[in-house]
Chains A and B, each alone.
Chain A
Amino acid sequence: MDTHSISRRPRALGAVTSGPRDLGAVNWRGLWTLYLKEVRRFLNVFTQTLLAPMVTTLLFLAIFALALGGAGREVDGLPYIQFLAPGLIMMTLMQNAFANTSSSIVMAKVQGNIVDVLMPPLSAGELTLGFAAGGVTRGLMVGCAAGAAMSIFVTLPMADPLSVIYHAVNGALMLALLGVIGGIWAEKYDQMAAVTNFVITPFSFLSGTFYSIERLPSDWQFIAHFNPFFYLIDGFRYGFLGRSDGSPLLGYAVVLGVNIALWALAHRMFATGYRLKP
């Protein structure tokens, strides 16, 4: 009787819906919204974010092809251009994954709209995943575009597709996470430019994209093995050509280990609010 009378009362619809939305373990909607924001941000200016890297990569290919004068230069029995192409794809993939997350976070911080990301009910893990996934998406899209454009000029075999995919995804993830970390650390555009100029550009250019590291003096070869980007480029190239400078298995492990460490660091930065929450 009692319950019946309650059910006949007009239901307080407003009161029910204005309560906190029940999110469950993961705020999927929030995560998806953040991811979409990150992706639309670069798709909006696709000339700068997709076409420009593609053209620049082709320019590099052209310069090296011309500088070699068409002579039959070989690296380990492979035509040099074939050796170069996977490295260039990986390099542009990495630089773009980094650019996406780092510029997004630094711009939001400088302009003050970072609160729009910090205020919503998103956990540190969801923030890390949302930003990183945006960077990975851009990196992979640029990589595919550059690869498609290059395959017009260079025949690229595919010796081990799994290795190609593994290194492409992990390379994009590594640089996207580095971009998150760099973006949170930097307080001005100038500091971000310093990270790009002194860390990302040198490490990505000097990681065996343009030459086999066997060409380096032996002390430098030893140092080059401490550059995680070397394993990304080497493993990615292995996936196409079936030859590598380093051991492929070690490469898989190093890449995975570095990514776990970077993920933990990025997660911790979001969780503690380092340089994000005053």
Chain B
Amino acid sequence: MRPALAPPGPRQFGPVNWRGMWSLYRRQFLHYLRNTGHSIIGPAMTSLIFLAIFQLALGDRGDPLPGVSLAAFLAPGIVMFSLASGAFEGAGVSLFHDKIEGMIGDILSAPMTPLEVVGTLILAAAGNAMLTAMAILAIMAVFIEIPLHAPFAVAGFALAAALLFASIGVIAGICAEHWEHYSAAETFLVFPIALLSGAFFAVSRLPAEVQWLFKANPVFHALEGFRFGFIGQAQESLALAAGVLLSLVGAMGILAWWLYARGYKLKV
């Protein structure tokens, strides 16, 4: 007679469910890789087109900042736009899609704390968007000369911006009840702040009355630091930019975590 097998007890894990986090991260990453057309090739194509049309439309107007060519000025701006919208979409679409298709239950019922889930979603979306941004930079470098002044500033500000927009994406994904809501957040909030951030023109050249409007835009600060990493000059203090970004990342991250932990529009 065979000895009776003891039923398997619950899996033990320490204070952090690393395996759960890794599984969720892997899922988000594989999903990103499966949709290369939408997640990498599309943004890369759009970025190159932006670069071309701005060169053709504005190429005869001289340098936007002293000693900086138009291409070197535009490239970081275009990459930052792609990074911000990509991080937002990566987190928002994925969460919202899971929600309306009912798959969110798989994540909600997993033995993961809200912090683990939200943290992983934000990190995965930010990481994916950074990969796209790197691909776009690599493609652009084939056509134009991109200086690199401070690699750490580039990486740091890119990461901060990606985390910020991934958090906003999670919030939008949780709050939206229809595709309409989600796309309204994208069209009326994310695109305007990402496009009107000084990506395509030097804010310091604008009239003083409208400058404050841009300085209230977090993407402007992210872009200042990011562009500084390439061209070595900024129109604003970098400490201020870093401070604004970090506090916003913190605030949006906490809001996303709090909404998820409450189960707002997630748990019936």
- Looking across the interface, which residue of chain A has its beta carbon closest to that of B183? A48
Q: Is B38 a contact partner of A63 (Cβ separation < 8 A)?
A: no
Q: Is A206 a contact partner of B53 (Cβ separation < 8 A)?
A: yes
Contact of B37 among A52, A56, A67, A197 (CB under 8 A): A197
Given A47-B180, A63-B200, A198-B45, the answer on whether A52 and B53 have CB atoms closer than 8 Å is no
A201-218 interface mask toward B, CB cutoff 8 Å, 1 = contact, 0 = none? 110011001110001100
Q: Which of B55-63, B135-143, B224-232, B245-253 contacts A (4 or more CB under 8 A)?
A: B55-63
Contact of B183 among A52, A62, A194 (CB under 8 A): A52
Residues on A with C-beta less than 8 A from B187 are 47-48, 51-52, 55-56
Bound form: Cα–Cα A100–B59 in Å: 35
A17-55 interface mask toward B, CB cutoff 8 Å, 1 = contact, 0 = none? 000000000000000000000000000010110011001
Q: Is B57 a contact partner of A66 (Cβ separation < 8 A)?
A: no
Q: Is B54 a contact partner of A67 (Cβ separation < 8 A)?
A: yes
Residues on B with C-beta less than 8 A from A59 are 191-192, 195-196
Q: How many A-B residue pairs have CB under 8 A?
A: 86
Residues on B with C-beta less than 8 A from A45 are 179-180
Q: Is A205 a contact partner of B49 (Cβ separation < 8 A)?
A: yes
Residues on B with C-beta less than 8 A from A66 are 196, 200-201, 206
B185-218 interface mask toward A, CB cutoff 8 Å, 1 = contact, 0 = none? 0011001100110001100011100000000000
Asked if B41 is at the interface (CB within 8 A of a chain A CB), the reply is: yes
Given A55-B187, A201-B46, the answer on whether A211 and B57 have CB atoms closer than 8 Å is yes
Residues on A with C-beta less than 8 A from B53 are 205-206, 209-211
Q: Is A73 a contact partner of B61 (Cβ separation < 8 A)?
A: yes
Residues on B with C-beta less than 8 A from A69 are 201, 205-206
Asked if A271 is at the interface (CB within 8 A of a chain B CB), the reply is: no
- Looking across the interface, which residue of chain B has its beta carbon closest to that of A64? B57
Asked if B184 is at the interface (CB within 8 A of a chain A CB), the reply is: yes
Q: Is A210 a contact partner of B56 (Cβ separation < 8 A)?
A: yes
Q: Is A67 a contact partner of B42 (Cβ separation < 8 A)?
A: no
Given A52-B183, A55-B187, A201-B45, the answer on whether A63 and B37 have CB atoms closer than 8 Å is no
Bound form: Cα–Cα A189–B42 in Å: 13
Residues on A with C-beta less than 8 A from B61 are 68, 71, 73
Asked if A190 is at the interface (CB within 8 A of a chain B CB), the reply is: yes
19 A-B pairs whose Cβ atoms sit less than 8 Å apart in the complex: A48-B183, A48-B184, A52-B187, A55-B187, A55-B191, A62-B196, A63-B201, A68-B61, A70-B207, A196-B42, A197-B41, A197-B46, A202-B45, A202-B49, A205-B53, A206-B53, A210-B57, A215-B56, A215-B59
Query: Footprint of A on B, CB under 8 Å?
Result: 35, 37-38, 41-42, 45-46, 49, 52-54, 56-61, 179-180, 183-184, 187-188, 191-192, 195-196, 200-201, 205-207
User: Given contacts A66-B196, A211-B56, could you give 5 more A-B pairs where the C-beta distance is less than 8 Å?
Assistant: A59-B191, A64-B57, A73-B61, A201-B49, A210-B54
